[in-house]
Amino acid sequence: MPKLTIDGQTIEVPPGSTVLQACEAAGREIPVFCYHPRLNIAGNCRMCLVELEKSPKPIASCAMPAADGMVIHTDTPVVHKARRGVLELLLINHPLDCPICDQGGECDLQDLTLFYGPDHSRFAENKRPVADKDLGPLISTHMTRCIHCTRCIRFLNEVAGVEELGACARGEHMEITTWIEAALTSELQGNIIDLCPVGALNSKPYEYRARTWELKKTESVDVLDALGCNIRVDSRGNEVMRVLPRLNEAINEEWISDKTRFAYDGLRRRRLDVPMVKRDGKLREASWSEALRAAAERLAGTGPERVAAVVGDLADLESMLLLKELMAALGSPHLDCRQDGAKLGIGPRASWLFNPTIAGIEQADVCLLVGCDPRSEAPVLNARLRKRWRQGGFRVGRIGPPRDLTYPVEELGAGPQTLQEVVGGGIAFAQALRDARAPLVVVGSGAVARPDGAAVLALAASLPVQREAWNGFAVLHRAASRVGGLELGILPGPGGRDVAGILHGVEAGEIEVVYLLGADEIEASRLRGAFVIYQGHHGDRGAAAADIVLPGAAYTEKHATYVNTEGRPQRGKLAVFPPGEAKEDWRILRALHDALGLRSDVATLGDVRARIATLAPHLARIDEVTPANWEPLADAGAVDRAPFGYPFDDFYRTDSISRASAVMAECSRLARERRASEATGTHG
């Protein structure tokens, strides 16, 4: 372990550290532009210069390995002069447009110039003109502001794995560009906006909409996939202005997908903001009491065996619990949270969790993807798999149709038969799994959302992926509500129907009333024969079938708990109020209890949470994963021959919020065009 002296303080750092890391360990802040702890070192901005004794000139600390006996000074006239010089040089070609720049207020160049920079410029010549680039609908560019740190290029090359940006030309003429003026295609591209230390790359939808300091910042969690990425919701007045990632090493590090970041314009569109009741075949506005009364009358006046409820993918834990209690009080066993028909929730808890945890991916050495397309189902998790692959010694096999995941994948086969072969040890990959130190098998939600899903699950669970202190069995969900629902038992009771059974029951005239808690991913047209009560926030598929609409709150508009695919409960927070007369969902269900005259002893959100804590104590341990004990699954019959399919063809439009988003619609259109031109070979 090299031992260095930094500003008189002796410090020992792990081998392989840089001088910069050593300085940080010694509590010294070194200004940087190009250096980023999650990207390769470029060493091209020179902002991090420090003085190294016996070195004739200052050194770039980010690129210099820490060596034994180095004596470093970070606070000397030489260092200050060097920083001033670097900043003066960077500012030569940087426009003075901070007053109209979106980055203003959160700009590294602005901040560092303030602290370390010169107070005037000696450069009287013309600044360098650079044409702005067209990077597509998500990122706007102001390339005169670029300081050529190449963070954006390195992110796309390394983390996203979609090499599309480059530094073209040379010297003073160098420009960051795609060269061909084509939209970027990575579904993680929005992160380069955050990485850009200046205002060269900005969010296009947010452009010129607000100044950073007038935004209210609310720390929350994302619900547009099942990872529960940590986000910050920035709002002004009652409007969400943008969504940014929040650091969480266990889940998303500091990345989020473009859907998480950019779908928020969908929160303003197609909203259900008044209660509605169908009269004369048309939904008409009603008061809350009318709507609740109408719903209560219908629910109370129908035999419990003829009432059913379906929970959607964005539902929160609190409202799910109240719905379950409502159904129990009514006496109906027909309740399900698995809109896609996934055969999960029957076995032990470990059979539906991402047991090794997301961060645990980095421990794995062999990975088998079973009917799972992590890139469209959870792009941030895919980035973690890619990160693991880049570290070397990681073998990935797949059972399911080929799709580009940005790292090499061994194609093993298309369907359950191949899985059987792997279990039987018949193919080489099976041996790799057996020999692995920390084998990982990721079962996609598509692989179990089929008639033989339970058999597929049992088969996958029989793979040899258990080790001492390592459970490599992982289910990758795509619905934010799903694990919470399974843990709360939002499942058919004894004699109850699942989603397919409910739909079938409606068609057969056996189910009369269906309560949809934000359920938009079922074939709503098959509900025509039933009386549908829809509680949710968007006028999407479910509301289209409704006879009563109870307007709820979207994830940015309520305090609520979500359990991610690892089984980690996290709290989302209210950033803005629900629009119009819409209400937080737990309140709606609470009011419905009252309207039905049901005894309910919950008065506050705290009461609901206390109830959850009693029923499932591990769901009250916020931000923590409570590991599940592993038990082998019971044999669940035979698998059939059908190949696995993936749930999404269109990553950008997967739920009622992203379907309402114009930005996502544009991304989806571009992606479709791209696929079509690739298919005909006319790309470029």
Partner 1 sequence: MPAFAFSEANQAEVARIRARYPADRQASAVLPLLHLAQAQHGGWLPRAALDHVADLLGMPRIRVYEVASFYDMFNTEPTGRVQVRVCTTTPCWLCGSDEVVAAARETLGIEVGETTLDGRFFLREFECLGACANAPVMWIDDDFYEDLDGPKARAILEAVKRGEQPVPGPQSGRRGSEPLGGPTTLLRTGE
Q: Residue 151 touches which of partner 1, ligand SF4, ligand FES, none (CB < 5 to 8 A by kind)?
A: ligand SF4
Alpha carbons within 13 angstroms on the beta-carbon side of residue 538 total 26
Using CB under 6 A as the binding criterion, the count of chain residues that bind ligand FES stands at 13
Q: What is the DSSP string of 227-246?
A: T--EEEEEEETTEEEEEEE-
Q: Is 60 in the site for ligand FES (CB under 6 A)?
A: yes
Q: Is 33 in the site for ligand FES (CB under 6 A)?
A: yes
Q: Residue 168 touches which of ligand FES, ligand SF4, partner 1, none (CB < 5 to 8 A by kind)?
A: partner 1
Name the one range near partner 1 by CB under 8 A: 95-103, 173-181, 381-389, 480-488. Answer: 173-181
Q: Least CB distance from residue 153 to partner 1, whole Å?
A: 9
- Residue closer to ligand FES by CB (options 48, 463) is 48
Q: Is 633 in the site for ligand SF4 (CB under 6 A)?
A: no
- Residue closer to ligand FES by CB (options 35, 262) is 35
The CA dihedral of 515, 519, 523, 526, to the nearest 10 degrees, is: 10
Q: Is 676 in the site for partner 1 (CB under 8 A)?
A: no
Q: Residue 355 touches which of ligand SF4, ligand FES, partner 1, none (CB < 5 to 8 A by kind)?
A: none
What kind and span of H or E run contains 139? strand 139-141
- Residue closer to ligand SF4 by CB (options 38, 611) is 38
CA-wise closest residue to 292 among 517, 519, 535 = 535
Considering only residues 35, 562, 586, 652, which one is a binding residue for ligand FES as defined by CB under 6 A?
Answer: 35
**Cα 467 to Cα 277: distance, rounded to the nearest angstrom:** 56
Q: Is 166 in the site for partner 1 (CB under 8 A)?
A: yes
Provide the terminal-to-terminal Cα distance of the chain, rounded to the nearest Å. Answer: 51
Quick count: other Cβ atoms within 10 Å of Cβ 56? Answer: 6
Name the one range near ligand FES by CB under 6 A: 59-67, 182-190, 231-239, 586-594. Answer: 59-67
Q: Is 193 in the site for ligand SF4 (CB under 6 A)?
A: no
**Cα 232 to Cα 572: distance, rounded to the nearest angstrom:** 10
CA-wise closest residue to 140 among 56, 55, 207, 48 = 207
- Residue closer to ligand FES by CB (options 107, 553) is 107
> Are 500 and 337 a contacting pair, CB within 8 Å?
no
Name the one range near partner 1 by CB under 8 A: 107-115, 178-186, 396-404, 490-498. Answer: 178-186
Q: Is 53 in the site for partner 1 (CB under 8 A)?
A: no
Using CB under 6 A as the binding criterion, the count of chain residues that bind ligand SF4 stands at 14
Query: What 3-state class would DSSP assign to 631?
Result: coil
**Cα 600 to Cα 325: distance, rounded to the nearest angstrom:** 9
Q: Is 195 in the site for ligand SF4 (CB under 6 A)?
A: yes
Touching ligand SF4, residues 443-462 (CB under 6 A): none
Name the one range near ligand FES by CB under 6 A: 43-51, 113-121, 321-329, 521-529. Answer: 43-51
> Are 20 and 34 a contacting pair, CB within 8 Å?
no
Q: What is the DSSP string of 306-326?
A: GEEEEE-TT--HHHHHHHHHH
Q: Is 152 in the site for ligand SF4 (CB under 6 A)?
A: yes
> Are 430 and 421 a contacting pair, CB within 8 Å?
yes
Q: Least CB distance from residue 34 to ligand FES, whole Å?
A: 3
**Cα 515 to Cα 524: distance, rounded to the nearest angstrom:** 12
Q: Least CB distance from residue 43 to ligand FES, whole Å?
A: 4
Provide the binding-site residues for ligand SF4, judged by CB under 6 A: 146-152, 176, 195-198, 200-201
